[in-house]
Structure 1
Amino acid sequence: MCFLLLIFIITGCGREKGFTLKHPNILLVSVDTLRADHLKCYGYPFETSPFIDSIAERGALIKNAVSVSPSTLPSHTSLLTSLIPRKHGVVRNGYILSNNLLTLQKILKNEGFTTAAFVSSYALSSNFNFNQDFDLYDEKFDKNRYPGQQKIERAANKTTDAVIKYLKEYSAKKPFFIFLHYIDPHWPYSPPPNYSRLFNPSYRGNFDGGMKSIYSLRSKLAKGETVSDEDKKQAEALYDGEIRFVNDQFKKLFSELQSEEKLQHTIIVFTADHGETFFEHDGYLDHSPRVYETTIHIPLILYYEPKIKSGIKINKLVSNIDIAPTILELAGIKIPDEYEGKSFANLLVGENEKGSNREQLYVFSESTRKAPYLENGVNEYLLKAKNKWPNDPFAKSIRGRKWKYIETPYLGREEFYDIKNDPNERNNLINSNDNRIKSEIVRFRNLLDFYKKIYVPPAVKYIDRKSIENLKSLGYIN
């Protein structure tokens, strides 16, 4: 499920409040469920992200960044371990991270960092051991955000205020690593009142963005009933309001960093864990069941004025498992051999893309469940089979610069797209008679088979009843 911002303060020759830091401070902000093409810097026509766009205009825009999973906990675990889910074992939301994982925060802690996390959703609760290697883990969820529901989320303004308070009180003479997670764009789509009508002020229907409205809409889809264009537009408009709210909260945090003199020699990296689909494929509204571009194409923006050329656009393919190695290289810390991702720091200092080592890279992505309202014609044998890997029946893809192959075993479906010329995945080429395309399909099938042979024993599923109910209320599990 997310959206990430990393701030590095390179202070090897700089000073912060009277002392010299050996390594940069790092602030990683993850905004849940933010798809790349709903930011204006990625071509969106509406003003959802003016402050984020301003960073993109002054820094590097990575045009082809892809997530390995369209689910919150698996994707975030990949982000912080530089491993695909088949290697770290966190199959789906609600599973427990192993203590044997070499997390980014563990490496930074060993290098002398103070580590802190501020999370805004129960999906990243310490109950799932996501808090490992953090000195401080702030998960104070807002009991009043959604009346009648349990304390499972926290709004962006309250999370921002908690981080600002921490920064104001921070006095340690060593670098900090802060992981900051915003949940707001994730459903329910409930932006604050002054953001709820920004993008569709004329709407007069009954869709309010709450979970009851969402489930009602999905029920219509399951029954084959028509969902009005007005309701579809309103769902996206409320989602956009959430993005704009987070944009403004990040601006507030950025201003605080400036006032605290913590932005000297600053590198900013901005990305997401996954996106959201609004009726584009099979008419569904969701993220976890599919690996289309709407759910796995994520924003990634980098800014560092002394080194990154203003306005540069990088076309190379990047995965979110590449972020942790890049952080370490930029911070001057050795990248461990266990990390699967590849640093792209060389592209940020002006290396010619044609000379980079990323030309033949591919990104493997894997969904974590079936779409509960698209089950007609499902091969139940596949769903009940004792697979070595629990997600084997579900959608998975291999994404390159030009081609993308998708396999969905439980639907008996294969898809192949020229993603460079058909970014919306409208023209399925799987039955093409073109010999060149046929050859590419075989090659991508073989690549996917290679990844399907990789697996570790899945992490332990958390079976506490309260946790199950909390995850259900968020729509994370059926």
Structure 2
Amino acid sequence: MRILYIDIDSLRPDHLGCYGYHRNTSPNIDRIADGARRFTNYYASDAPCLPSRTALFTGRLGVHTGVVNHGGAAADIRSPGSEREDGNRGEYQSWMTALRQAGHHIALVSPFPQRHAAWHVLDGFDEWHDTGGNGTERAEVVYPYAEEWLEDNADDEDWYLHVNFWDPHTDYDTPEEFGNPFEDEPAPAWPDEETIQEQRESYGPHSAQDLHHDYMTGGEIPELPRTPDEITSREDYKQWIDGYDVGIRYMDEYIGKLLDLLESKGVRDETLIIVSADHGENQGELNVYGDHQLADDKTCRVPLIVDGPGVEPGVDDGLYYNVDLAPTITELVGGDVPTGWDGRSFADSLTEGADDAGREFLVLSQGTWTCQRAVRWDDWLLIQTYHDGWREIDPLLLVDLDADPHETTNLADEHPEVVERGLSLLQRWHSDRMLENATGDAGGLPESREGLVDPLLQVVNEGLPYYQRGFREDYAERLRETGREAHAKSVEQADGVQYHTDDLQPPVR
């Protein structure tokens, strides 16, 4: 089977036409989705970038691989101990190794291994083409690598090409000559003016008043023509979200070129095309703009569109992890699914339209900007925060995603029975995963030196989420300069979850 995986950084599904967006951001992705199978509740198990792609390529959850962070002890994959083989072809083999053993030639077009020192991601690839920009390169840089590879290999049988685009990731630096296709189109209705003004009184990395990373680090704010310095109004928000949407549209044109190339080679209908992302992107939700800092719906939910031979068209609303894709595609190509994977195949959904392949619930983690776990079931999302990452967020946040997709209202006090249910699911999940770490079932590693340590606990014990380390004084100064003295004191005292009250109670772990 020929497989083209289009991996788009920071792409939230509700900014694609095929997922109902009112702007025409994605005509070529929509072209793939027309006649494809589209998944509406597909989540990165562990966010953001390094944990997510580690989970995808290993078929294993972060609680088992140990990777839930971008730095520190929880950023490197754990060794299986004495069970480590001279080549990773056993029960913990990578997804790419499984495809390779099934007879596929495997190629990667991406700077990602270099960007995050994610060398384990390369396990199983026959070829790696580093596009050289460390994740800042635009689609016009990425595309020629994929074009050349397909020109040379598209006619061959049994290949897998993974192409990584970055344009929806900040800094939203689409070439100015591309213009703004959405200049005369309204922005999404939320956030409204009242929400923006409330957010400006609050704080946090990438919040309305501290929009760019440099506000936290004390660096110079970059000159970016497509983005405002702060979100002060709906006008600023429109400029900001236009930048995001234009990046999607610009990249989408190069996806169209990939489709045209496959068609010119006569293999488009014989190629399984997968469109997905490493994580989504908050665009104002919980006062995060243009980043992926939480274990919430907007950071963790990603698009999944699968089109190609044998795929049953339609929509699947079931709950899936990204780790479930590895066994699914491995099964489709006739490969063997290793016993050490956490993923569960949903091949029956792809080939037969089965509607019962989803999971009962999902548990999502964030260990880079905050320390959180969330449980997603029915229409509910319950987020438990272990370190707030210098932002105003309740230790327990309950959201009805159907009624409140932008996560504006905490229903925890109104629905204690739902909170109890969510905490019960979270505890059950954690107990099961740690038992697997002890016994070696599923993705567990009992012989690993740290096998019985929860990697998210490692992050909490290191003191601060990774991207806040070393910047406490700089950010506190920024808050004081902008009249937010109480928040400056909170940052200076922060050592875990803060209960944000007027008298600044000491932090509670």
Q: TM-score, normalised by structure 1?
A: 0.73
Q: Please say if 1:396 is aligned against 2:377.
A: no
Gaps of 5+ in 2: 80-86, 187-209, 219-229, 389-393, 438-444, 456-465, 472-509
| 448 and 228 in structure 1: CA distance in 2 versus 1, 3 angstrom threshold | farther
| 140 and 430 in structure 1: CA distance in 2 versus 1, 3 angstrom threshold | same
Aligned twin of 2:69: 92
Aligned residue for 1:130, secondary structure, equals helix
Aligned length: 394
- Among 409, 413, 417, which residue is 1:431 paired with? 413
How far is 1:132 from its partner? 2.6
**8 A contact 1:41–1:53 mirrored in 2:** yes
Which aligned pairs between 1:342-357 and structure 2 lie closer than 5 A?
A: 342-353=344-355, 356-357=356-357
**8 A contact 1:432–1:438 mirrored in 2:** no
**8 A contact 1:72–1:123 mirrored in 2:** no
Query: Residue type of the partner of 2:378?
Result: R
Aligned twin of 1:215: 213
| 288 and 127 in structure 1: CA distance in 2 versus 1, 3 angstrom threshold | same
Aligned twin of 2:399: 417
How far is 1:444 from its partner? 3.1
Aligned twin of 1:165: 148
Distance in 1 between residues matched to 2:37 and 2:2, nearest whole Å? 20
Aligned twin of 2:239: 234
| 476 and 42 in structure 1: CA distance in 2 versus 1, 3 angstrom threshold | farther
Which aligned pairs between 1:65-76 and structure 2 lie closer than 5 A?
A: 65-76=42-53
Aligned twin of 2:369: 370
| 78 and 201 in structure 1: CA distance in 2 versus 1, 3 angstrom threshold | same
Distance in 2 between residues matched to 1:451 and 1:248, nearest whole Å? 44
Aligned residue for 2:11, secondary structure, equals coil
**8 A contact 2:154–2:267 mirrored in 1:** no
Which aligned pairs between 1:434-445 and structure 2 lie closer than 5 A?
A: 435=417, 437=418, 439-445=420-426
- Among 125, 129, 139, which residue is 2:130 paired with? 139
Distance in 2 between residues matched to 1:241 and 1:448, nearest whole Å? 39
**8 A contact 1:71–1:288 mirrored in 2:** yes
Aligned residue for 2:272, secondary structure, equals strand
Aligned residue for 2:47, secondary structure, equals coil
- Among 248, 266, 276, which residue is 1:243 paired with? 248
Gaps of 5+ in 1: 1-23, 143-150, 204-211, 372-393, 462-471
How far is 1:135 from its partner? 1.8
How far is 1:68 from its partner? 1.1
Distance in 1 between residues matched to 2:269 and 2:277, nearest whole Å? 25
| 477 and 25 in structure 1: CA distance in 2 versus 1, 3 angstrom threshold | farther
| 170 and 313 in structure 1: CA distance in 2 versus 1, 3 angstrom threshold | closer
Aligned twin of 1:199: 182
Which segment is superposed worse, 401-410 or 79-88?
401-410
Which aligned pairs between 1:274-313 and structure 2 lie closer than 5 A?
A: 274-281=279-286, 283-304=287-308, 307-309=311-313, 312-313=314-315
Which aligned pairs between 1:26-37 and structure 2 lie closer than 5 A?
A: 26-37=3-14
Aligned twin of 2:328: 326
CA deviation vs aligned residue, 1:48-98 (integer Å, no higher than 9, x gap):
101111222222221111111221111011111111111112232253446
| 258 and 349 in structure 1: CA distance in 2 versus 1, 3 angstrom threshold | same
Aligned twin of 1:104: 95
Aligned twin of 1:447: 428
Query: Residue type of the partner of 1:444?
Result: L
| 441 and 79 in structure 1: CA distance in 2 versus 1, 3 angstrom threshold | closer
Aligned twin of 1:42: 19
Distance in 1 between residues matched to 2:41 and 2:10, nearest whole Å? 17
| 247 and 451 in structure 1: CA distance in 2 versus 1, 3 angstrom threshold | farther
Aligned residue for 1:106, secondary structure, equals helix
**8 A contact 2:330–2:337 mirrored in 1:** yes
How far is 1:159 from its partner? 1.5
Q: TM-score, normalised by structure 2?
A: 0.69
How far is 1:317 from its partner? 1.0
CA deviation vs aligned residue, 1:218-273 (integer Å, no higher than 9, x gap):
789xxxx9733322221211111111111111110111111122224333222211
CA deviation vs aligned residue, 1:1-56 (integer Å, no higher than 9, x gap):
xxxxxxxxxxxxxxxxxxxxxxx122212110001111111121111101111222
Aligned residue for 2:122, secondary structure, equals coil
CA deviation vs aligned residue, 1:136-167 (integer Å, no higher than 9, x gap):
1111314xxxxxxxx65332122111111122
Distance in 2 between residues matched to 1:424 and 1:213, nearest whole Å? 18
Query: Residue type of the partner of 2:347?
Result: A
Aligned residue for 1:409, secondary structure, equals strand
Query: Residue type of the partner of 2:350?
Result: L
What RMSD, in angstroms, separates the aligned Cα atoms of the two structures? 3.3
Query: Residue type of the partner of 1:214?
Result: H
**8 A contact 1:118–1:159 mirrored in 2:** yes
**8 A contact 1:316–1:401 mirrored in 2:** no
Distance in 1 between residues matched to 2:352 and 2:365, nearest whole Å? 32
Aligned residue for 1:214, secondary structure, equals coil
Aligned twin of 1:384: none
Distance in 2 between residues matched to 1:46 and 1:232, nearest whole Å? 16
**8 A contact 2:113–2:121 mirrored in 1:** no
Query: Residue type of the partner of 2:364?
Result: S
**8 A contact 2:280–2:292 mirrored in 1:** no
Query: Residue type of the partner of 1:253?
Result: L
**8 A contact 1:38–1:240 mirrored in 2:** yes
| 73 and 337 in structure 1: CA distance in 2 versus 1, 3 angstrom threshold | same
Which segment is superposed worse, 165-174 or 245-254?
165-174
Distance in 1 between residues matched to 2:342 and 2:112, nearest whole Å? 27
Distance in 2 between residues matched to 1:477 and 1:184, nearest whole Å? 29
Aligned twin of 2:39: 62
Distance in 1 between residues matched to 2:121 and 2:310, nearest whole Å? 34
